[in-house]
């Protein structure tokens, strides 16, 4: 299928101002010439040029269209590519794609355009994976980080480590295989220094994995507390609209209410839960059990307290559920007279913020607290970030292999053992970037891509 000319809709499917049908492969221009008509044939056009005309299905005119020609290898896929931009109606889009199929194109598989870009050496596997991260980014910071990976931030760091190890492996192999040649003796001190630097680079990359995960997936965040402390009001404030029902009656929320929000460019997957308290109401009891289960599974808990009341047994019950979960104490209703003693709260939570959700005060303070708790202090969206478990697992294995090489060197084991560990590290890094990877892994990487990308 890699040699087939493929076509797919590359814009979101639905009524829109414009739709783009992408055609790629050796026969892309010939296929496009069969469905696109203008004063000039596409085969006569240079790359990076456009023509205005119309698309046809046989003699039936489908729509006005702009055709953009990209010549191999200067295209996204590295192949000849034509992009047909027509009006974004459902019928027009599907009819144009159908005409391309009739003209000889094959339906593209999920992620096949990007897969071909990888196979044709336009991007490495890490950069290819970042394409979907750019598409799925839910905040400016997440998009910036994914674009940095696409532009080679991670690949560059991995490449520097790999080049250092390749140089050392070549020297070690030459020194072992050709003892009669005048090869400079290996400096154990220099070798240890360079291996240590490589190890530290990999450790730093692994340490930032949680940052990448937060940006990509968001933070599974639970709003918890006893009834009537303002959890639903906080949910509505952060959501920007009335997502949860708010009344003066305690226990209004009985099920889990969910919403995804963007807080200071960090995505929170919010759950507003039932107030935690003892109740004889069967429905409310179910809601309380669901709330406790959500807290146990959360990556972050916003634990809400009423500043106008003293700490109660119900508050303490909520606090006792936070032992193994990162949490921020939200002291709400600060517009009222404060009666709450926060000493006990401080000892049980990682941070504390003061808010009046009813009056919309304290959101900036909460944003800063979430950022402090969930992103490392030296976070930079332009850093080399690992974005998925495949990348993390291979980097961890590579760091372990470098450590083995260092341990062998420091304990005086022969250079042969050091060389084996260095070469294992190189192989793992090559698998990470796709220079040495199985077809099964490639298929798995592109399986979750959308068709048309």
CA dihedral defined by 367, 369, 375, 381, rounded to 10 degrees? 40
Is the distance from CB of 87 to CB of 18 less than 8 angstroms?
yes
Q: Read off the pLDDT of residues 112-165 as tens digits, 9 standing for 90 and up.
A: 999 999 999 999 999 998 988 888 888 888 888 888 988 889 999 999 999 999
pLDDT at 281 over 60: no
The band of 183, judged by pLDDT with boundaries at 50, 70 and 90, is low
Q: How far apart are the first and last CA of the chain?
A: 16
Q: Are strands 219-224 and 16-24 parallel, antiparallel or unpaired?
A: unpaired
Q: Read off the pLDDT of residues 29-70 as tens digits, 9 standing for 90 and up.
A: 999 999 999 998 999 999 999 999 999 999 999 999 999 999
Instruction: Output the pLDDT for position 246.
Output: 47
Is the distance from CB of 214 to CB of 374 less than 8 angstroms?
yes
| Across 97-105, average pLDDT | 96
* pTM for the structure as a whole: 0.80
Instruction: Output the pLDDT for position 284.
Output: 56
The crossing angle, in degrees rounded to 10, of helices 188-207 and 415-433 is 30
Separation of alpha carbons 378 and 383, rounded Å: 10
Instruction: Output the pLDDT for position 251.
Output: 47
Instruction: Output the pLDDT for position 196.
Output: 96
| Across 70-89, average pLDDT | 95
Separation of alpha carbons 174 and 429, rounded Å: 22
Write out the two tokens for 122. Answer: 């336009």
Is the distance from CB of 373 to CB of 350 less than 8 angstroms?
yes
Q: Read off the pLDDT of residues 132-143 as tens digits, 9 standing for 90 and up.
A: 888 888 888 888
Q: Closest Cα partner for 188 from 418, 381, 449, 359?
A: 418
CA dihedral defined by 432, 437, 438, 439, rounded to 10 degrees? 90
pLDDT at 275 over 50: yes
Q: Closest Cα partner for 166 from 193, 187, 195, 206?
A: 195
């Amino acid at each position: 299928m890699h040699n087939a000319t493929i076509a797919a809709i590359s814009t979101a499917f639905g009524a829109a101002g414009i739709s783009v049908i992408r055609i790629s492969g050796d026969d892309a221009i010939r296929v496009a010439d069969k469905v696109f008509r203008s004063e000039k044939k596409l085969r006569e056009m240079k790359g990076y040029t456009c023509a205005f005309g119309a698309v046809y299905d046989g003699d039936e005119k489908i729509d006005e269209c702009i055709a953009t020609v990209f010549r191999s290898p200067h295209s996204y896929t590295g192949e000849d590519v034509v992009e047909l931009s027509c009006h974004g109606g459902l019928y027009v889009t599907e009819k144009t794609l159908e005409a391309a199929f009739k003209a000889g194109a094959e339906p593209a598989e999920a992620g096949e355009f990007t897969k071909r870009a990888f196979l044709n050496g336009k991007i490495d596997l890490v950069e290819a994976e970042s394409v979907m991260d750019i598409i799925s980014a839910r905040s400016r910071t997440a998009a910036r980080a994914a674009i940095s990976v696409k532009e080679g931030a991670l690949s560059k760091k991995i490449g520097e480590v790999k080049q250092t190890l390749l140089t050392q492996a070549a020297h070690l192999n030459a020194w072992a295989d050709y003892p009669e040649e005048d090869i400079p003796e290996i400096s154990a001190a220099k070798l240890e220094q360079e291996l240590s630097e490589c190890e530290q680079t990999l450790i730093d990359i692994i340490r930032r994995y949680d940052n990448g995960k937060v940006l990509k997936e968001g933070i599974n965040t639970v709003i918890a507390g006893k009834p009537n402390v303002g959890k639903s009001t906080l949910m509505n404030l952060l959501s920007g609209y009335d997502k949860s029902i708010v009344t003066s009656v305690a226990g209004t929320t009985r099920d889990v209410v969910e919403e995804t929000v963007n807080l200071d460019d960090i995505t929170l997957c919010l759950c507003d839960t039932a107030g935690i308290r003892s109740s004889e109401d069967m429905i409310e009891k179910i809601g309380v059990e669901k709330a406790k289960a959500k807290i146990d599974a959360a990556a972050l808990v916003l634990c809400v307290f009423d500043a106008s009341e003293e700490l109660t047994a119900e508050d303490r019950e909520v606090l006792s559920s936070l032992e193994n979960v990162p949490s921020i104490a939200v002291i709400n209703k600060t517009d009222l007279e404060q009666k709450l003693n926060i000493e006990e709260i401080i000892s049980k939570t990682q941070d504390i913020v003061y808010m009046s959700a009813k009056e919309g005060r304290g959101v900036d303070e909460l944003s800063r607290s979430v950022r402090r708790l969930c992103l490392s202090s030296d976070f930079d969206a332009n850093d080399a970030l690992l974005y998925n478990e495949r990348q993390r697992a291979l980097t961890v294995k590579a760091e372990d292999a470098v450590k083995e090489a260092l341990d062998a060197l420091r304990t005086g084991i022969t250079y042969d053992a050091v060389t084996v560990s260095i070469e294992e590290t190189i192989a793992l890094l090559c698998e990470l970037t796709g220079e040495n990877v199985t077809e099964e892994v490639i298929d798995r990487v592109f399986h979750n891509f959308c068709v048309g990308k």
